[in-house]
């Protein structure tokens, strides 16, 4: 068979665009369904799924892909639940929580082990709110918690080292 005998499929640009739009619509539908299943509120769902770039691809709030959203939602939910169990007020919605983590640059370094990063409340007091939290290493968060407990027990003043 010579090169002249081979047939070359011709794909029109319009057909490719239509296929891409179908793929994007399916991706958005899949993401919407998955987020609904894990309990994302309707207003947050709309905000998450409407983020698209000029090419029409899902940005997923620039967090590394659609598949990471479920894991991030679970981490958010776990942190919110744990705060409630400790009697700490929670004032962040999923979008705010994710944006704080993204701005820190340490989203994929979250954890409870030495050297990993945690969402910390300033002085380990007050609610989890955009104005009272920062992302810091676990060691710093743990030492703040110990200082707060010592102050509550009357052993250390706020000015003590």
Whether the predicted model's global pTM rises above the 0.85 cut: no
Taking Cα atoms as reference points, which of 66, 59, 136 lies closest to residue 100?
Answer: 136
State the pLDDT at residue 101.
Answer: 92
At 99, give phi and psi (nearest 5°). Answer: -65, -40
Q: How many CB atoms lie within 10 A of CB 119?
A: 21
- Tens of pLDDT, residues 51-69: 434 333 434 444 445 557 7
Q: Look up residue 156 and give its DSSP letter.
A: -
Pick the more confident residue, 145 or 3: 145
Give the start-end residues of each E strand in the chain: 117-121, 133-137
**In Å, what is the CA distance from 132 to each residue of 9, 79, 122?**
59, 15, 6
Reply yes or no on whether the pLDDT at 106 is more than 50: yes
pLDDT for the residue 63: 42
Burial bucket for residue 117 (CB in 10 Å: 0-12, 13-18, 19+): buried
Q: Which two tokens stand for residue 156?
A: 């250390």
The mean of the pLDDT values for the chain is 74
Amino acid 38: pLDDT:
67
């Amino acid at each position: 068979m010579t090169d002249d005998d081979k047939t070359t499929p011709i794909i029109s640009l319009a057909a490719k665009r239509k296929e891409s739009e179908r793929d994007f619509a399916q991706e958005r539908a899949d993401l919407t369904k998955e987020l609904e299943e894990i309990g994302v509120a309707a207003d947050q769902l709309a905000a998450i799924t409407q983020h698209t770039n000029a090419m029409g691809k899902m940005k997923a709030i620039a967090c590394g892909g659609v598949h990471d959203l479920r894991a991030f939602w679970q981490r958010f939910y776990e942190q919110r639940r744990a705060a409630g169990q400790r009697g700490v007020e929670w004032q962040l919605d999923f979008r705010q929580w994710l944006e704080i983590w993204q701005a820190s640059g340490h989203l994929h370094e979250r954890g409870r082990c030495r050297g990993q990063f945690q969402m910390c409340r300033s002085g380990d007091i007050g609610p989890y709110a955009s104005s009272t939290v920062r992302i810091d290493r676990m060691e710093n968060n743990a030492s703040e918690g110990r200082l707060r407990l010592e102050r509550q027990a009357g052993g250390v003043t706020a000015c003590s080292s």
